[in-house]
């Protein structure tokens, strides 16, 4: 077995790497925003531009709250009014941002569906700041050289994002955006199940059918999350793949924390303490 100290150090290393990913997503989305929002980012499109950054930051906060509740503070400390209010208030804000980010992923996907066949010469778009699609959130400014290389290629355009690309590139980008939506919804589902697990354990009802339903739901949700990670890995989107892998590892730790937390509060454990 891994020593307790080594387990904690590895766990906190994963948490630290997830925090670093917030900065990496911000850099990627900032660069993408400079390419597609030529007139600046309006307030209503801010979440569309920085959905992954906001989502990841909110999840890091939520992860910290799970760690505090299930591994760091005792039940007596958690029941202190000031601590309880702080944790619940922070969770509400983080949950709101996560739902807002899910809306941002959905908005981005819908924006990418609104494309049409490019009827003009792509070189006419060079001087007005259009960009060429490489992948989701990865665009290159259209130049005289790159537009010449596109001559004779069937292209599609997204006017509201100032993007052009081949049909295959646009299709891949739309699929990646859809996977973002599915991934976001699946993680929300995982946390809802975990919250229910904790509440049922507090009431001594996390047994029998409730335990079985929770296990089935988690199996389906985690399967969707693993599928998303594999898809990102196959398409070469390393940052999304790396982030998904780290989150899956992090939630293994959270599941272990919840299990230990429930064991410590089980009737059998209470009897041993008595």
Distance CA 190, CA 13 (A): 22
- The pLDDT confidence band at residue 148, using thresholds 50, 70 and 90, is confident
Mean pLDDT in residue range 68-97: 82
Span 45-79, pLDDT tens digits: 888 889 999 999 999 998 888 888 777 777 677 77
pLDDT band at 202 (very low <50, low <70, confident <90, very high): low
- pLDDT value at 220 more than 90: yes
d(CA 61, CA 143): 41
**What average pLDDT does the chain have?**
84
The position carrying tokens 């890995």 is 233
Residue with tokens 């997204």, as numbered in its chain: 158
Q: Which helix (H) or strand (E) holds 47?
A: helix 46-49
Using DSSP's 3-state secondary structure scheme, residue 39 falls into: coil
- Give the total residue count for the chain: 274
Question: Tokens 């390393």 map to which residue?
Answer: 238
pTM: 0.81
Residue 270 has what pLDDT?
41
Give the distance, in angstroms, between the CA of residue 5 and the centroid of all CA atoms in the same chain.
Answer: 29
Domain boundaries, the chain: 4-273
Question: How confident is the model over 107-139, as pLDDT tens digits?
Answer: 999 988 888 888 888 888 888 888 888 888 888
3-state DSSP of 205-247? CCCHHHHHHHHHHHHHHHHHHHHHHHHHHHCCCHHHHHHHHHH
């Amino acid at each position: 077995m891994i020593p307790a100290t080594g387990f904690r150090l590895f766990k906190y290393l994963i948490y630290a790497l997830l925090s670093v990913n917030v900065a990496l997503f911000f850099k990627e989305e900032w660069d993408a925003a400079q390419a597609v929002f030529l007139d600046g980012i309006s307030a209503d499109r801010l979440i569309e531009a920085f959905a992954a950054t906001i989502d990841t930051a909110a999840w890091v906060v939520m992860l910290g709250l799970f760690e505090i509740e299930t591994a760091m503070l005792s039940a007596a400390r958690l029941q202190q009014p000031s601590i309880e209010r702080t944790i619940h208030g922070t969770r509400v804000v983080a949950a709101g941002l996560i739902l807002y980010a899910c809306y941002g992923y959905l908005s981005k996907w819908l924006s990418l569906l609104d494309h049409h066949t490019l009827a003009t010469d792509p070189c006419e778009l060079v001087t007005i700041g259009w960009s060429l699609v490489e992948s989701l959130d990865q665009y290159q400014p259209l130049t005289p050289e790159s537009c010449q290389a596109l001559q004779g290629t069937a292209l599609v355009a997204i006017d509201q994002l100032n993007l052009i690309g081949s049909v295959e590139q646009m299709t891949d980008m739309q699929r990646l955006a859809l996977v973002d939506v599915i991934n976001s919804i699946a993680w929300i589902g995982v946390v809802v199940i975990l919250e229910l697990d904790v509440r049922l354990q507090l009431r001594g009802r996390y047994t029998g059918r409730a335990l079985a339903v929770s296990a089935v739901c988690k199996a389906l949700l985690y399967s969707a999350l693993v599928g998303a990670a594999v898809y990102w890995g196959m398409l070469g989107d390393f940052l999304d793949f790396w982030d998904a892998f780290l989150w899956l590892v992090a939630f293994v730790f959270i599941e272990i924390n919840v299990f230990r937390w429930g064991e410590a509060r089980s009737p059998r454990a209470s009897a041993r303490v008595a």
